[in-house]
Amino acid sequence: MRKTALAVCCLLTCISVFAQNDSSRLDAGSLVLKRNFTQHIAIKGEDLEKMPFSNLSDAINVWISGAYTVSRNLIYVVDGNIISDVCAYSIHDIEEVVFVQNANALTGTAANQQEMVLITTRNARNKGIGRPALRASSQTSLVNSPGSMLESYYHNYAGLDATFKKISVGVSGDYLQDVTPMPKRANYDAVLPYTMDRWRLNGNFTWRADTKNTVEVRVGYADQKLDSAQNYTPPGYRILNYNERSHESDKQFTSWARWRGEWLPGLRNDLQVGYIHFRQQGNYYNLGHFTDSSTYYDIRLAAGDYHIHHIYVRDRLSYTLHAGDWSFEPAFNASYQYLNQAYGQAFGAQSGNLSGGGFGGGSIINSTAAEGRGYKLYVLTPTLDITYKELLNIQGGVVENVSHKSSTGTSLPRASAFASIAIDILRIDGVSRTNSLKLFGSYAQRSAYYVTDFSLNDIDNANAPFKFPIDGNPQAVMGTIFTGGIIMSNLPVSIPKYWVWEAGASWSVLKNRLQIDYNFERRNLTTTGFVNSVGGINTYYFPDFKSAQHRVGVNVRIIDKDDISWQSGLNTTVLRTKIDPDLQSPSDNSIIGDHYPGNNKPSFTGGWTNRVHCHRVSVGMDVLYHFSGENIVANSFSQMTTYSRDNAWLAQNIYIGYKIALPEKMGLEVYVDSRGLVRGGNTPYMTTPSRYYGIGGKFSL
């Protein structure tokens, strides 16, 4: 089956897709949710286009959960494809970003505090049959942080698509360079920034065979490099010379094909096949020359090579039956995944007192590890969706893991259940109203199916590449060699079953001009706890982690006229996690939220978003804040940590744009923008200290 799936993918990748999505539904990969009965937060891609960023989490955090929305805390599903990497897509290719607040969608997201975000890519714009539509944008910014040199950010994009009678095609290319400036420090010969260069190419093809059958294909390639270099020479100090060099190369090829058709009235089938190949290569070098009473050298080298081949096949067969005001939709989802990952790394260290130009009394340590692993995963998900008018929706189902094994060979729970209910209180009497008061509830049992990560690395503090010391200290080296693959040894025989439940309410009044939302989420987590290391074998267990999250959001269209509009939103999130006290370390920084032992004081984080349009002028302003935030600082002399409480806020995004009048069907907008321009409190712990000052433009034809 693996060879067959790979052959299908190879045949289809020579074509390319823009997905045509049913706007009334949310495709979460393993199941489909009805938008009107799902609590969610929707963000238009065009509301994020003018912000300089390289990781989508940096743009949407003000809309979702503030400082708790970081890259490692999110799982993305792109057009229903669960193996897609959102970093492989330009924001100009994204139509909508939807944050789902429904436990049903989290059946396979057992790790940490991860949340589900659905991405819908752009549909081809109809400029007339056979007439191509050109889209282009260019953006550049100066970037600096306190005490650093000015660096440069670039983002250039071009896309071309066309719609014919039954076919739509499109291609796009994107280049992005992002930097993290390093502070100037006394006695440094040179401090170069952490630099990321990312190229992205995407192609798409859609064939509407008839009114009931559509075939879509997407193919993409991303190539990026991350580099850093530091020279440290403090005369007369213990460290006479310190050199550091690191380089990483990531290459990712993705492809998927989809056939959606209605075989009989009410009987629909959705078949999707995907393939991804990811390769990460990196090397790291540092040389230290120490002097106190004697001369001493210290050399460290690291290199690694990581491959993933991933095949994904999913089929969803559903049937809709109407009985008066009721509709029943049973569905059967079946998925197959084949994952093969190979991992190799080498680490060397040489140290000792300098004697006669050689290493006297020094030691050489060389360690290598290489592992290749292939495994198959079969999952069946039968579901039933029941709807009564626009009043009530109930959905439930079971996730059945037929393969019953994880990537490490550890046994997984065979069956886990999920269910949700949504009801509009104001429609119970049968009267149609413009206002609504919806109540939501959902519960799901979860299991982490495999341990892997094939996403493109970044330079943000939440997902830094392995060789970059985040704080800029050249001595803070040699953490985990690779963030790409997590290869654990001596795991427990079986993974327990995890759970999550959510409850919420959404109240819309004034013809939906004002909407107030509340959501509560309770879950337990799967992060492994370290027990000990004997003979080079690490032993882990699954400790008891729990979390409780409250989120309140208010969205209002303050002005809503033809040529003038102002939409504003304010939200806040409180997230607490409880960690098993048996852990060797009393806190785990991989877990998002407030979790220091014995700390009962909550913190509040969120954002304030604004979008204003006045004739040809557009203005945007987003503010990110974190009040009473828990700032955990690692103690280098023990596993204990200290912490403080800090208040912080910053203007995450500010822009002013102007649309220039051009002939019909042509558009041009120029703008100035800034990220992190104004701030207060202790912001470095919450987000990057960098400030961006830029200009840009968008053109369409």
Q: Three-class SS of residue 517?
A: strand
291, burial (CB in 10 Å: exposed 0-12, middle 13-18, buried 19+): middle
pLDDT class for 582, splitting at 50, 70, 90? Answer: low
Say yes or no to pLDDT of 404 above 90: no
Over the stretch 590-637, which tens digit does the pLDDT of each residue have? 677 777 665 678 889 999 999 999 999 999 999 999 998 877 665 444
How does DSSP classify residue 165? S
Structure tokens at 31: 């199941």
Over the stretch 168-187, which tens digit does the pLDDT of each residue have? 999 999 999 998 887 776 65
Mean pLDDT of 319-339: 93
pLDDT number for residue 583: 52
The least confident of 56-65, 372-381, 388-397 is 372-381
Structure tokens at 547: 């979390």
Over the stretch 249-294, which tens digit does the pLDDT of each residue have? 889 999 999 999 998 999 999 999 999 998 888 776 666 655 544 4
The least confident of 67-81, 536-550, 673-687 is 536-550
Length of the chain: 701
Mean pLDDT of 510-539: 78
Which candidate, 501, 502, 505, 686, places its Cα nearest to that of 603?
686
CA end-to-end distance (rounded Å), the chain: 45
Radius of gyration over every alpha carbon of the chain, rounded to an integer in angstroms? 26
pLDDT number for residue 34: 95
Over the stretch 66-114, which tens digit does the pLDDT of each residue have? 988 888 788 889 998 887 788 899 999 999 999 999 999 888 766 678 8
The Cα 64–Cα 61 span in angstroms is 5
pLDDT number for residue 338: 85
Please answer whether residues 466 and 479 qualify as being in contact, where contact means their C-beta atoms are separated by less than 8 angstroms: yes
The least confident of 371-385, 388-402, 411-425 is 371-385
Q: What domains lie within the chain, and their CATH numbers?
A: 2-622+655-662 (2.40.170)
Q: Report the C-alpha dihedral over residues 126, 130, 133, 134, rounded to 10 degrees.
A: 170
Say yes or no to pLDDT of 574 above 90: yes
Identity at 275, one-letter amino acid code: Y
**Backbone φ and ψ of 549, nearest 5°:** -130, 130
203, burial (CB in 10 Å: exposed 0-12, middle 13-18, buried 19+): buried
pLDDT number for residue 639: 45
pLDDT number for residue 316: 95
The least confident of 35-44, 462-471, 554-563, 613-622 is 462-471
pLDDT class for 478, splitting at 50, 70, 90? Answer: very low
pLDDT number for residue 330: 97
Say yes or no to pLDDT of 233 above 60: no
Over the stretch 333-379, which tens digit does the pLDDT of each residue have? 999 988 887 767 666 655 554 433 333 334 444 444 555 566 788 88
Which candidate, 80, 85, 23, places its Cα nearest to that of 54?
85
pLDDT number for residue 15: 30
pLDDT number for residue 689: 73
pLDDT number for residue 581: 59
Say yes or no to pLDDT of 384 above 50: yes
* CB neighbourhood size of 344 (10 A): 16
Identity at 150, one-letter amino acid code: L
Identity at 558, one-letter amino acid code: I
Percent of the chain whose predicted confidence (pLDDT) is above 70: 69
pLDDT number for residue 177: 95
Over the stretch 20-32, which tens digit does the pLDDT of each residue have? 346 789 998 878 9
pLDDT number for residue 588: 56
DSSP per-residue letters across 37-103: GS-EEEEEGGGTTTS--SSTHHHHTTTTTGGG--GGGEEEEETTBTT--GGGS-GGGEEEEEEE--G
- The Cα-based distances of 466 to 16, 411, 445, 629 in angstroms read 34, 29, 33, 26
Mean pLDDT of the chain, nearest integer: 78
The Cα 285–Cα 264 span in angstroms is 63
Say yes or no to pLDDT of 477 above 60: no
Say yes or no to pLDDT of 192 above 90: no
pLDDT class for 476, splitting at 50, 70, 90? Answer: very low
The Cα 160–Cα 660 span in angstroms is 21
Element (H, E) at 6: helix 2-12
pLDDT class for 10, splitting at 50, 70, 90? Answer: very low
pLDDT number for residue 174: 96
pLDDT number for residue 340: 81
pLDDT number for residue 299: 61
Say yes or no to pLDDT of 19 above 50: no
The Cα 645–Cα 653 span in angstroms is 25
List strand residue ranges (DSSP E) for 164-238, in order.
167-180, 188-191, 194-210, 213-232
pTM, 2 dp:
0.86
